[in-house]
Amino acid sequence: MQPVRTADPSPERFRQVLGRFATGVGVLTTVVDGLVHGMTANAVTSVSLQPPLVLVCVDRTALMAERVTRAGCFAISFLAADQQALSAWFADPSRPDDARQFAGVPTRVAATGVPVIEDGVGFVDCRLHAVHDGGDHLIVVGRVEALGDGGSNEPLVYYRSGYRRLAGQP
| Model confidence band, residue 37 (pLDDT cutoffs 50, 70, 90) | very high
Average pLDDT over residues 113-141: 97
Each domain of the chain, given as residue ranges in start order, spans 24-164
pLDDT tens for residues 50-97? Answer: 999 999 999 999 999 999 999 999 999 999 999 999 999 999 989 988
First to last CA, the chain: 38
d(CA 146, CA 124): 6
pLDDT tens for residues 133-155? Answer: 999 999 999 999 999 998 778 99
| Model confidence band, residue 170 (pLDDT cutoffs 50, 70, 90) | low
Instruction: Return the CATH architecture of domain 24-164.
Output: Roll (2.30)
Give the per-residue pLDDT at 125.
Answer: 98
H/E stretch holding 66 reads helix 63-71
